[in-house]
Amino acid sequence: MAKRIIISGGGTGGHIFPAIAIANALKKIDAKTEILFVGAKGKMEMEKVPAAGYSIIGLDIQGLQRSSITKNLLLPFKIIKSVMTSLKIIKNFKPDAVVGVGGYASGPLLFAASLKNIPYLIQEQNSYAGMTNKYLAKKAKKVCVAFDNMANFFPADKIVKTGNPVRRESVNIEGKLDEAAAFFELETSKKTILVIGGSLGAGTLNTSMMAGLTQLQEAGIQVIWQTGKYYYKGVIEKFGNQPKDLGIRIFEFLNRMDLAYAMADVIISRAGAGTISELCLIKKPVLLVPSPNVVDDHQTKNAHALINKEAAILISDKHAESELIDQTLKLLANEEQMKLISERIGALGLPNADEQIADEILKIAI
């Protein structure tokens, strides 16, 4: 008999794309599996999940606003309302299991599942678990993780190291260099750096690139630069559409990440858990600039999981504008170091996370 599964969470692409990958893996195992997503109203999952072919219900929920006490006044009421809505969703959908991938909607839905004795699984993406997942793990059947030493946060007997699910189409780069060069109108004979700061963008990466763009041009380095939604207009206003002979390609969003990864010799990136999982499969040298603006400083902790194994170079956010371009050029000039970092980061890749998590979900399903 086909199973009925609820997948909850979202808020950012780092949560949504892995959730969709898990859903696709469940469907691959049994096409009759019925899947319902639960997300947060107004967040990008309300658009991305239906586009992937799945139904979604939105909860009226928000995260804790550390910058404004007044914005948190309604939070307790929204949590209670979201738990009540989640109980109704569970009653109507009658799931065999529930999955939480992180994000605002995961907490109320998993808590409601615990009240109804519905088995649930937590997919913890980061190397440092947040307060909500640590609390919810007490009644979880399984906790799927991507990093070592997670017994510091969860019961050891519940932990399964699966890695984070990634968009398979994004990491399929084998044999695509010529296609990538044609797509971006760049030269394979020149070194290329790829700059990615997430779908919304990263201000520090963008200011660092603006400060060092002339330096990169003078060194003959090609650039594929994803500015993100918030910063694209400002970057274009400053630089315009760069002449093609300068080898600079500026994008708000990269729809062909596989070709961007294929073209890159070195990658500059934030340190979100999902991005790190992709980078481990890409197997190219990386400079990580963790965002300081995330809960519990997750990105710095994620980055150190690679830095401790000499599988990436760390640049702090506050020093990026003065150091990032110099360090990038230094790395590009050191073929031996590039090769070593590529080998070390590649050794950390876990390519079948979506399938493994899907298997664990079906094991706990009633």
Sketch out the chain's domains with CATH numbers.
4-164+351-364 (3.40.50.2000), 169-346 (3.40.50.2000)
Please give the Cα distance from 25 to 132 (Å, whole number).
26
Annotated binding-site residue? 242: no
- 177 Cβ partners below 8 Å, 6+ apart? 188, 262, 263
Q: Which pLDDT does position 202 carry in this prediction?
A: 85
Please give the Cα distance from 166 to 105 (Å, whole number).
21
Annotated binding-site residue? 12: yes
User: For residue 294, which phi and psi values (nearest 5 degrees)?
Assistant: -115, 155
| DSSP bridge pairs for 244 | none
Q: Which pLDDT does position 230 carry in this prediction?
A: 84
Annotated binding-site residue? 352: no
3-class state of residue 238 by DSSP: helix
Are 224 and 252 in contact, with CB atoms under 8 Å apart?
A: no
Neighbours of 29 (CB within 10 A): 13
Q: Which pLDDT does position 44 carry in this prediction?
A: 86
User: For residue 309, which phi and psi values (nearest 5 degrees)?
Assistant: -110, 15
Q: Which pLDDT does position 317 carry in this prediction?
A: 93
25, containing H or E segment: helix 13-29
Q: Which residues of the chain have pLDDT under 50?
A: none
| DSSP bridge pairs for 193 | 223, 266
78, containing H or E segment: helix 75-93
Are 34 and 5 in contact, with CB atoms under 8 Å apart?
A: yes
DSSP notation for 218-230: HTT-EEEEE--TT
- How many H-runs (helices) and E-runs (strands) does the chain carry? 15, 13
- 182 Cβ partners below 8 Å, 6+ apart? none
Question: Which spans in 116-256 are helix H?
Answer: 131-136, 168-171, 177-184, 203-218, 232-239
| DSSP bridge pairs for 120 | 98
53, 60, 18, 20: which is closest to 39 by C-alpha?
A: 60
User: For residue 168, which phi and psi values (nearest 5 degrees)?
Assistant: -60, -35
Please give the Cα distance from 359 to 136 (Å, whole number).
21
Question: Which spans in 94-141 are helix H?
Answer: 106-115, 131-136
Annotated binding-site residue? 126: yes
Q: Which pLDDT does position 105 carry in this prediction?
A: 83
Q: Which pLDDT does position 88 carry in this prediction?
A: 98
pTM recorded for the entire structure: 0.87
Annotated binding-site residue? 117: no
